[in-house]
Amino acid sequence: MTDVVMVRGEAELFERTAHLFEVATEISCAARDLHTWSVAHPAAPEREQSVRGMTIRKVYQPGVLLDPALAGHLRRMADNGAGIRITEREINETILLDRRIAIVAGDRVGGVRGYTVISSPALVQGIQSLFEAAWHGATDLEAYQARFTELGAREILEQLASGCKDETAARVLGVSLRTYRRRVAELMELLGASSRFQAGARAREAGLL
């Protein structure tokens, strides 16, 4: 394989890399959500599978917790032995295989996403270092989910989307105005949102609002 190969679309990506996933014993993945790496190919990295004998670590952004189905999928992966963490920082969507191969997701052009498959040791080492930094700065899934649930994130987002005043939202949720505003601020922090509008936009992108 050439040190750096550009491919277009997931079909071509998995045609070129399926054999690498089949023999990999260590998989590290960073993604904004569960859709970057499709399940279209049987060897796709997001497929629920036994991870016995493998080291699997995955870092996602908080938006994955907005959808109960996706959150449940993460929980099952963790129960099967995968390490799952959540980060509020921007991340490069990347998969690393056995610290030898890096696959970096690019932008969509004409509805088709591009990917770069890298085998150059120096480049892979640099990408691995970036992943390690993201991993160590992230929070374990269980701890993050507990905080997310405690905030009543879905209920708060529904109130934000309705456009009602804070006083009304607090009354609907049965909390004080101060508590409601504190939870809104904490939810925005969890989602990495700089405004209420951005928090609502991310919820809509997830198909929840």
Comparing C-alpha atoms, which of 86, 85, 94, 89 is closest to residue 126?
Answer: 94
Give 156-198 pLDDT, tens digit per residue.
888 887 888 999 999 988 889 998 898 888 777 766 678 887 7
**Residue 33 near residue 64, CB atoms below 8 Å:** yes
In this predicted structure, the answer to whether residue 99 has a pLDDT above a threshold of 90 is: yes
Q: Which domain holds residue 38?
A: 4-139
Q: Rounded to 5 degrees, what are φ and ψ at 70?
A: -70, -40
Q: Which residue has the higher pLDDT, 2 or 119?
A: 119
Q: Are residues 158 and 112 in the same domain?
A: no
**Residue 10 near residue 38, CB atoms below 8 Å:** yes
Report, as an integer, the average pLDDT of 54-78. 82
Give 127-143 pLDDT, tens digit per residue.
999 999 999 999 899 88
Classify residue 146: in a domain, yes or no.
no
**Residue 156 near residue 191, CB atoms below 8 Å:** no
Q: Which residues, listed in sequence order, are joined to residue 54 by a DSSP beta bridge?
A: none
Q: Are residues 72 and 132 in the same domain?
A: yes
Q: Are residues 134 and 170 in the same domain?
A: no
Q: Are residues 14 and 103 in the same domain?
A: yes
**Residue 96 near residue 102, CB atoms below 8 Å:** yes
Residue 42 confidence class, pLDDT cut points 50, 70, 90 = very low
Q: Give the Å distances, CA to CA, from 199 to 15, 74, 172, 194.
A: 37, 21, 20, 8
Q: What is the pTM of this model?
A: 0.70
Mean pLDDT of all residues belonging to the chain = 81
Q: How many CB atoms lie within 10 A of CB 146?
A: 11
Q: Give the Å distances, CA to CA, from 121 to 4, 49, 205.
A: 11, 28, 37
Report, as an integer, the average pLDDT of 151-155. 72
| 207: its two tokens | 């198909």
CATH (domain of 135)? 3.30.870.10
Q: Are residues 111 and 157 in the same domain?
A: no
Segment among 3-17, 99-113, 143-157, 167-181 with least mean pLDDT: 143-157
Q: Are residues 161 and 72 in the same domain?
A: no
Q: Which residue has the higher pLDDT, 8 or 50?
A: 8
